[in-house]
Structure 1
Amino acid sequence: MAEPYIHKLFHRKKLDQQNQEGKESMAYINEEVKGSIYVTEQGLTLEKDADKALFVYPWKHYYDWADVYELDTMQIGDIGENLSVLEMDEYAVSLGDTFQLGEAIVQVSQPYLPSWKLARRLQIDDFALQMQQSGRTGWYFRILQAGNIQAEQDMELIDRPYPQWSIAACNEAMHKFKEDLRLADDLLQCDVLGKTWENMLKKRLRGIPLRTKRRLFGPE
């Protein structure tokens, strides 16, 4: 089996804009990195959550989206990923997988939760819903050890504590088997699970409704 491979590397850069209400906009550009870049626990996503330091997305999914929406305009990086990867997908990657990536050490923290903000950026109204239902979500890395990383580089798997919890299995537990509270509790026991997913599963176990429609389609 081929080693996981970084095809392209991107760094999000915030745009200084305001929305119609005069509030600061979350708009950004996803700029391709040529050469190496030093990553710390803050990562390259503009997220404040260290569990979301790097957004990883399989390169092959772009072909699937081109077929679904009958378009050829979507380019690698448009989904907002920091790492466009080969030889990795949601079935091959598990929660807690730890990789040597250049000088850095990274760990899978949680799947990406599809959002209306991405759908709006792509100008495809149901993209977040399609992304969630298809399971082509990608995932996040947290940074365990800072260091220089670059594209066209292999990743070496150095630890796999939860092989039973592939990203695909996590997505099914969250989005497909919503009534299976035992499954939710089992996933919650993973000590490497990111805070966003941890909080959502805790709400589910307490019977608190999750605002899924708002996350997928935005405020009404």
Structure 2
Amino acid sequence: MRVVSLNVGRPRAVPHEGREVLTGIYKDPVSGRRAVRRLNIDGDGQADLRVHGGADKAVYLYPLEHYAYWAAELGVGLFPHGQFGENLTTEGLLEEAVCIGDVFRVGTTLLEVSQPRSPCYKLGIRMGDAGFPARFTASRRIGFYLRVLQEGELAAGNAIERVSRGEGELTVADVFALRHVASGDPERWRRALAVPALADSWRRHFEQRLAVSNRGG
């Protein structure tokens, strides 16, 4: 497991439906080591902090393995690293094999898996296709977010070492499907809520669904 590319970008204004919106989804590869802090990587930034960024979304990881799928699916050549807004383009870390709460050592940092990605309309802006977020969701090739347990530095080429397995061993793919694919299953919602590392926003979603279920809704 390794970091293939480290990608960062500051928010920029881009045209969208006759107006300008601010987005941090445009990331470019950088060389050398970068400091990783509790809320982001040096040189990186998020535009709308109501739904992006924060401790639970400090670093976004996307598997290199998915790039070939999208090249074939969209009939294009391979995209440059960072195309999907990820900070870390990686090899050897797929959603089906990574659990919420897994802790990885990368460079001198410790990073913990906090949640899958649920794409917003800004991914459609990046891809030049308003329908792409729905295709991204349907593919289940969504990547995942990491919180920073130990600040430090990392760089492209760093090995990724799994330090510990997440409590409950609920994979990123399982949690994503539970929200976006699977039918209502209160027992599985309870299982997700029992995972201490699950991001607060996802925890609230499952709590709300469970509350509705308990009321017979």
Task: Indicate the TM-score class for this superposition, using the shorter chain for normalisation.
Answer: 0.7 to 0.9
**Cross-structure match for 1:211:** none
Unaligned runs of 5+ in 1: 209-220
Greater displacement, 157-166 / 146-155: 157-166
Aligned residue for 1:97?
102
Q: Distance in 2 between matches of 1:123 and 1:105?
A: 35
Distance change in 2, residues 1:199/1:110 (3 Å): same
CA contact (8 A) 1:17 1:27 kept: no
Deviations 1:27-53 (A, max 9, x none): 553121210000111113524411001
Q: Deviations over 1:105-141 (max 9, x none)?
A: 1100000112221012211232211221221000001
Asked whether the equivalents of residues 58 and 138 of structure 1 are also in contact (C-alpha less than 8 Å), the reply is yes
Q: Deviations over 1:54-105 (max 9, x none)?
A: 1000001011011111122632211000000001110111110001111111
TM-score by length of 1: 0.85
Amino acid at match of 1:35: G
In structure 2, give the amino acid aligned to 1:11.
V
- Are 1:25 and 2:22 counterparts? yes
1:35 maps to 2:32: yes
Say whether 1:199 aligns with 2:196.
no
C-alpha deviation, 1:144, in angstroms: 0.3
SS in structure 2 of the partner of residue 162 of structure 1: coil
Partners of 1:14 and 1:173 in 2: how far apart?
31
Q: Give yes or no for the alignment of 1:190 onto 2:187.
A: no
**2:49 alignment partner in structure 1:** none
Contact 2:36 2:152 in 1 (8 A): yes
Deviates more, 1:48-57 or 1:173-182: 173-182
Q: Secondary structure at the match of 1:120?
A: helix
Match of 2:95, SS state, is coil
Instruction: State the match for 2:93 in structure 1.
Output: 88
1 CA distance for matches of 2:174 and 2:25? Answer: 31
The answer as to whether partners of 1:13 and 1:31 remain within 8 angstroms in 2 is no
1:106 aligns with 2:111: yes
Q: Over the residues paired in the alignment, what is the CA RMSD in angstroms?
A: 2.1
Aligned length: 205
Distance 2:184 2:168 in 1: 23
SS in 2 for 1:74: coil
Range with greater deviation from structure 2 (88-97 or 177-186): 177-186
Q: Which residue of 2 aligns with 1:66?
A: 71
Partner of 1:214: none
Q: C-alpha separation between the residues in 2 aligned to 1:115 and 1:102?
A: 30
Contact 2:67 2:78 in 1 (8 A): no
Tell me the secondary structure at the aligned position of residue 207 of structure 1: helix
CA–CA distance in structure 2, aligned partners of residues 173 and 203 of structure 1: 14
Aligned partners of 1:132 and 1:173: how far apart in 2? 13
> Against the structure 1 CA distance between its residues 186 and 153, is the aligned structure 2 distance closer, same or farther, given a 3 Å change threshold?
same
Partner of 2:5: 8
TM-score by length of 2: 0.86
1:123 alignment partner in structure 2:
128
| 1:142 correspondence with 2:147 | yes
